[in-house]
Amino acid sequence: MAVLKKANSFAQVKQASNADIAAERTALSILVASYDAIVGSTAQVLAGIATNATVQGAIDAVPNEGRILVLAGTYTENLTINKTVTIEGKGHGSKLNGTTTFQSGADYCLVQGMRFSDTVTFNLGADANFFGNSWLAPTKTVVDGGVANSVTYIQE
């Protein structure tokens, strides 16, 4: 954002405010262009900040190898992933209340910066997936439902 100096008139304040708004819109456009989908609240979708109000809706909408950004918020839903996707959250602030299941075809997925409150399962055929900088509720587990699915899980 622009640094404001002491304004001598309302017109100067308005001009600086318009410049700030334009800069924020440009930054938002660059962010949106970096992802195939952005998940946020219904209000954020209506404001044009996010493209989807649910993580599952974003997964369904993006192409194979699509990138999804999950804005801070609590998303109460069960996820089924059946293709290669990258899901990037905003750390502890991006919380999923529900199970997450990686099915056959969900290979080479990257999940980072998400907080999971329920079990994460990798079924047979979901191979070579990476969880980084994500958090799982202490009483829940990552389940390898296949044969050596090669899941890498790093919790910080």
Which domain covers residue 143, as residue numbers? 37-153
The pLDDT value given to residue 85:
97
Q: Report pLDDT digits (tens) over 58-70.
A: 999 999 999 999 9
Indicate yes or no: pTM above 0.85: no
Q: What are the tokens at 6?
A: 């002491």
27, part of any domain? no
20, part of any domain? no
Q: Report pLDDT digits (tens) over 63-92.
A: 999 999 999 999 999 999 999 999 999 988
Nearest-angstrom CA–CA distance, 109 and 87: 8
Most confident of 30-39, 98-107, 144-153: 98-107
Question: In the chain, how many domains are there?
Answer: 1
90, part of any domain? yes
The stretch 8-23 carries a mean pLDDT of 56
18, part of any domain? no
137, part of any domain? yes
